[in-house]
C-alpha cells in the first residue's frame, strides 16, 4: 500500500497523511489515530527518499571514519549514533582507511544520497573541498582537528594542555628525564601532544633530549620497537606516549629487557582505552572524552540541520577537557585514582 491508498482508505488528503508521518502534532487526534491505525494494519513503510524530495530532508547523516578498527574512532562513532537514533536519523558510516582519495569518493556518494549533514572525523579534506560540500546545502561538522582547516564548526580536545599536565605529573613524581613516543595518527592531535610535552618539559625546567623523542606507528608494535630503541644506552626514567597502544608496547619492551615498570622506568599513556585498567601494571593515562566528542559533534550537526539561518551564524568551536587517570605505571606512591 502506498500513501495515496492510505489517504483514500482514511477518507483524507495525501497531505494529511504526510503530516501524520512528519508532524503528527499538527493533525486532529481523531483523524491522526484513524490514519495511524491504517498504517499499522497495513504495515506501511514510508519511502524515506521520496519524503526527502518533498520536504528537502532525507533524515540521514554521513559519518566519515578514518579507520573502523581503531577503538577510539568507534567510541566517537557510538556517541554520534546515540544522538542520531534519538533524532530518528539513519547514519551512513564510511570507513576511509586513512586514504584521502577514498574519503573524497565517500563524501561524493553521501552528497549524491542527499544526506542532511556530514560529520568528518579527523578529516584530511582541504578547506575548499568542505566549501563544496556546503554549497550543496549539506551541513558539516568536524570532530577532531584538521591542520588545513580553520573557522569551521568543530569539536576537539585540548591535547596540548593535557600533555603538559601529564609531564608535570611525571616530574612531580621525581622523573627528570622523560622520553616521548608519539604516533602519526591522528596527525594533528599527535603533534599537539608532542608540543605539550615540550612545553611541559620547559615549564618544569627539564632538559628536552631529542634522542628521547621518536615518531612511530600508533600501534602496540610501534610502541614496542620505539621503547627498545630508547632502552639502548642510558634510557630515560619515564616514557610518555601519545596513545595507550603505544604505552602497552613500551611496557612489554621494558619487561622483555629485564626491567620493571615503574621501579626502573615509569610509563604514561594517552586515551584511557578500556585495556588501560586491565594490563599489569595498570596504566596511568590521560582520559579523552571520546563518546562525548561524538555526542557533541552530532548535537552541533543537528543544530545546523534544524536551523534555517545556519549559514549566517558564526562557526562554533567546542573544546572538551581531559582527565588524568593515575595508576601504578607512573610510580605514584599514594596510588591516588587507581580505582579509575
List pLDDT tens digits, range 52-79.
Answer: 555 568 899 999 999 888 888 999 999 9
Q: In the chain, which segments carry CATH 3.40.50.2300?
A: 60-157+291-320, 159-288+324-330
- Quote the Cα angle for 242-245-251, to 5°: 95
- Quote the Cα angle for 268-272-277, to 5°: 85
Please tell us whether the domain made up of 60-157+291-320 is placed in CATH 3.40.50.2300. Answer: yes
pLDDT for 337: 46
- What proportion of the chain, given as a percentage, has pLDDT over 70? 91
Instruction: State the cell numbers at 256.
Output: 622483555
pLDDT for 143: 96
Q: In the chain, which segments carry CATH 1.10.260.40?
A: 3-46
> Mean pLDDT, to the nearest integer, of 90-101?
93
pLDDT for 333: 65
Say if CB 258 and CB 285 are below 8 A apart: no
> Mean pLDDT, to the nearest integer, of 181-187?
87
3-class DSSP assignment, residue 268? strand
Mean confidence (pLDDT) of the chain: 89
pLDDT for 88: 87
pLDDT for 51: 56
pLDDT for 109: 94
Give me the torsion for CA of 208, 212, 218, 222, rounded to 10°.
Answer: 180
CATH architecture of the domain 3-46 equals: Orthogonal Bundle (1.10)
Q: Residue 279 carries which DSSP code?
A: S
For the cut 60, the answer to whether the pLDDT of residue 318 exceeds it is yes
CATH number for the 159-288+324-330 domain, one of 3.40.50.2300, 3.40.50.720, 1.10.443.10, 3.40.50.620?
A: 3.40.50.2300
Model confidence band, residue 95 (pLDDT cutoffs 50, 70, 90)? very high
Three-class SS of 12-55: CCHHHHHHHHHCHHHCCHHHHHHHHHHHHHHCCCCCHHHHHHHH
Q: Residue 113 carries which DSSP code?
A: T
Amino acid at each position: 500500500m502506498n500513501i495515496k491508498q492510505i489517504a483514500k482508505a482514511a477518507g483524507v488528503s495525501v497531505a494529511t497523511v504526510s503530516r501524520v508521518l512528519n508532524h503528527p502534532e499538527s493533525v486532529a487526534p481523531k483523524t491522526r489515530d484513524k490514519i495511524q491505525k491504517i498504517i499499522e494494519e497495513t504495515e506501511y513503510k514510508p519511502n524515506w527518499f521520496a519524503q526527502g524530495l518533498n520536504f528537502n530532508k532525507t533524515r540521514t547523516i554521513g559519518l566519515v571514519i578514518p579507520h573502523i578498527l581503531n577503538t577510539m574512532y568507534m567510541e566517537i562513532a557510538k556517541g554520534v549514533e546515540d544522538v542520531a537514533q534519538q533524532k530518528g536519523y539513519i547514519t551512513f558510516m564510511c570507513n576511509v582507511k586513512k586514504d584521502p582519495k577514498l574519503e573524497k569518493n565517500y563524501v561524493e556518494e553521501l552528497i549524491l544520497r542527499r544526506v542532511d549533514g556530514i560529520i568528518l572525523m579527523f578529516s584530511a579534506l582541504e578547506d575548499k573541498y568542505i566549501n563544496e560540500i556546503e554549497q550543496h546545502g549539506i551541513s558539516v561538522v568536524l570532530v577532531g582537528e584538521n591542520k588545513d582547516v580553520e573557522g569551521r564548526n568543530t569539536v576537539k580536545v585540548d591535547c596540548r594542555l593535557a600533555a603538559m599536565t601529564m609531564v608535570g605529573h611525571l616530574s612531580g613524581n621525581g622523573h627528570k628525564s622523560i622520553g616521548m613516543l608519539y604516533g602519526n595518527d591522528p596527525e594533528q592531535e599527535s603533534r599537539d601532544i608532542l608540543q605539550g610535552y615540550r612545553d611541559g618539559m620547559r615549564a618544569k625546567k627539564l632538559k628536552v633530549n631529542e634522542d628521547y623523542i621518536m615518531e612511530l606507528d600508533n600501534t602496540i608494535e610501534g610502541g614496542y620497537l620505539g621503547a627498545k630503541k630508547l632502552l639502548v644506552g642510558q634510557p630515560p626514567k619515564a616514557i610518555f606516549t601519545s596513545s595507550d597502544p603505544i604505552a602497552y608496547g613500551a611496557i612489554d619492551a621494558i619487561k622483555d629487557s629485564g626491567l620493571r615498570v615503574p621501579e626502573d622506568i615509569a610509563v604514561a599513556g594517552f586515551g584511557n582505552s578500556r585495556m588501560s585498567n586491565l594490563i599489569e601494571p595498570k596504566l596511568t593515562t590521560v582520559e579523552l572524552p571520546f563518546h562525548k566528542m561524538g555526542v557533541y559533534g552530532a548535537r552541533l550537526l543537528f543544530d545546523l540541520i534544524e536551523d534555517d539561518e545556519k549559514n549566517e551564524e558564526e562557526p562554533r568551536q567546542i573544546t572538551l577537557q581531559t582527565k588524568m587517570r593515575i595508576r601504578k605505571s607512573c610510580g605514584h606512591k599514594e596510588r591516588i585514582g587507581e580505582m579509575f
